[in-house]
Structures are given as C-alpha cells and as structure tokens.
Amino acid sequence: MTWSIEVLHRDGAALQRILIADPADNEPRTVRIGRALDNDLIVDDAHCAAHHAEIVISGDAATLSAVATVNGIIAPNGKAVRALALDNDKPFKLGHTSIRVRCDRWPLAPELPLQTRPVWPLALLLLGLVFAHESWDIWLKDVGSQRPEYLYTLAGVSAGLGAWSSVYTLFGRLVSGTQRFFHHLAIACTGFLSGIVLLYLLDVLAFASSWLWPIQIHQPVVVVVGAATVRAHLRLADPRHWPGLRYAVALVAALAIVVPIAQQWMSHSRWSPIESTGILKHPALRLAPPVSIDDIAKRQLELKNRTDALKAKQEDGDGDVYYPDNPG
C-alpha cells in the first residue's frame, strides 16, 4: 500500500508530493508537518506552526491530529478541528496551505472525456443572432431621415461582446490555466439573447393583460440575467473555486436590485418609475377585455382629481407647488 501527501496550488495542482510506502514491520507510520526543517513535510506558511500537525498511518487508515498550533486544522467543510479521520482525498488546510492525502486503495474519480466538438460554430451562430436582432431593431427605428448606421452599431456590439469574453478568458488563463474564448463568447451571447427574449415576453404579457407589473420588473430581470451570465463565466473560468464567487455575484445582484428601488421610494414614494405601459403589440395578442371611451374618460377624471388634491395638499406657504415626479 502506498500513501501520498501533497501540497496543492489553489487550482488543485500538486506543488509538492511525498510518497510513503508500508513499513516492513507493519508498525504505524507518523508524518510530521510544519514549518520547522525537521518535519517530514515542510510548508512555507506563516500561519502554520513549527510543528503544526502529524498524520498517523496504520494499515489502510490515517488520522490527522494538531500538535502545537493555535489555528488548528481546517476540515474540508471549512470548520476548525483538532483531529480529522482521513478516508478520502478531499483537501484540508493547515493555515492557508491546502493539503491532500491519497491512498492507492481509495477509488479514483473516472476519467473525464476530452471535448472533441468545436464550440466556435455555436458561438458564431449566437453572435449572428445578436447581429440579426440589432439589425432588426435598427430597421424598425429607421424613419428615413438619415441612413441607418448598421456597421457602427454592429461593430460596437461585436467589440463589446469580444472584450467581455476576453476578460473572462484572461481570468481563466490566470487562475486555471485554460483559455476558452469561444466558450465565453457563447455564454455572453446567450445571456444577451436571453435578456432580450425575457423582456419581450414581459412586454407581451403587459400588453395582453393590461398589467403593469411585467414592466415594473424589467430592471430586476436584467440584473438577474446579468448575474447568471457572470456566474456561468466564473464557473467556467475557475471551476474549483466558483462557490465563493457565486455568493459575491449574488450579493452584487441583490444590491443592484434593492438600491435603485430604495432610491426610487425615497425620491418619489413609490417603488417603480413606470406609470403606464406604452407598449403596442399585434391586436391578436390582446387578452384583456376592451375598455370603453366613457370608462377611460372617467378614469382620467378621477386621476386628475387625485392629482389636483395632492398638489393642493403639498402646496407650501409661498404658493409654490411640489411635484413628486420633478423635484425642485
């Protein structure tokens, strides 16, 4: 039986490894770990003690115990302990140093297949769909007063998506040694198109049902789609350490949703700046019952009366009127 004790890089690669074979007399074997030079495994970590811990190997079992340290042992679940039974190859930490123990009798994870299908055709297809949407949007907004700037717009979109993908490609190259530009380009295009589709569906729902809330949640939906896209980029670039980044992305996304809503409430005493939909779709999509002209006029009169009463109530001593939608 052979044991291996490895010091790991943050990406999981072994920086240092010592092999321990079964002794001839079958006596337990002790491996000492710490910063002192008389240890079997020397770690250069200021948060490790001179004689930090020791591993006792007996047969097919191993036990890790803290010796003379105030920091103890950080178990794979992140909790500080004084002793740990080693029955798998999950890394633990001594100070800031990740260490993994392996045994030749423990099962190995199956071999991962190499990706043989190229990703660049899918990435270019998704980029083409982005171009198609932007071209369609420019064509719809063309009023004939001047020639539409298709090339400038498409070049800007291409440069933006390319730069966005390049940043995560560089990040992946630095932290995990992999560079997957077309993977990140496919993720970026997917996030962009997903946001467009979701916003379109919300607009259709608002038009079909005469509901206001699908328009009011536009900004949170955009933030959530953006956060999911960033999470996918980070998980691809740094697959071994993405859970911590996941929580950071979730926190930033929550702030991006809560802060504008809170500011809107503080400024105008309402949660959303949207007051009317202003969305026109094909009449066949309309599901809400029609409203008569008399009902529309009655609602407008009621709204005017409420607005006049509010303005009169907020009129200051100098006769000035404070408008909530236009402070100052």
Question: Does 323 have pLDDT greater than 70?
Answer: no
pTM value is 0.68
Q: Is residue 279 part of a domain?
A: no
128 Ramachandran zone, left/alpha/beta (phi>0; psi -120 to 50)? alpha
Mean pLDDT of the 103-126 span = 87
Residue tagged 């907020």 (tokens) = 314
170 confidence band (pLDDT: 50, 70, 90): very high
Residue from 39, 94, 43, 20 nearest 64 by CA: 94
Mean pLDDT of the 188-214 span = 92
Q: Which helix (H) or strand (E) holds 219?
A: helix 218-237
Cα(3)–Cα(9) distance, rounded to whole angstroms?
19
Contact 63, 42 (CB under 8 A): no
- 65-79, 114-128, 151-165, 285-299: range with lowest mean pLDDT: 285-299
Contact 152, 135 (CB under 8 A): no
| CATH assignment of the domain containing 81 | 2.60.200.20
DSSP single-letter state for residue 286: -
Question: Does 239 have pLDDT greater than 60?
Answer: yes
How many CB atoms lie under 10 A from the CB of residue 236?
Answer: 20
Q: Is the domain of 137 the same as that of 256?
A: yes
Residues 260-275, buried b or exposed e (16+ Cβ, 10 A)?
A: beeeeeeeeeeebebe
Q: Is the domain of 83 the same as that of 130?
A: no
Number of compact structural domains in the chain = 2
At 327 the pLDDT is 44
24 confidence band (pLDDT: 50, 70, 90): low
Q: What is the CA radius of gyration of the chain?
A: 31
- Residue ending a domain, choose from 250, 268, 286: 268
At 275 the pLDDT is 63
Instruction: Identify the domain containing residue 205 by its residue range.
Output: 120-268
Q: Is the domain of 128 the same as that of 33?
A: no
Question: Does 209 have pLDDT greater than 90?
Answer: no
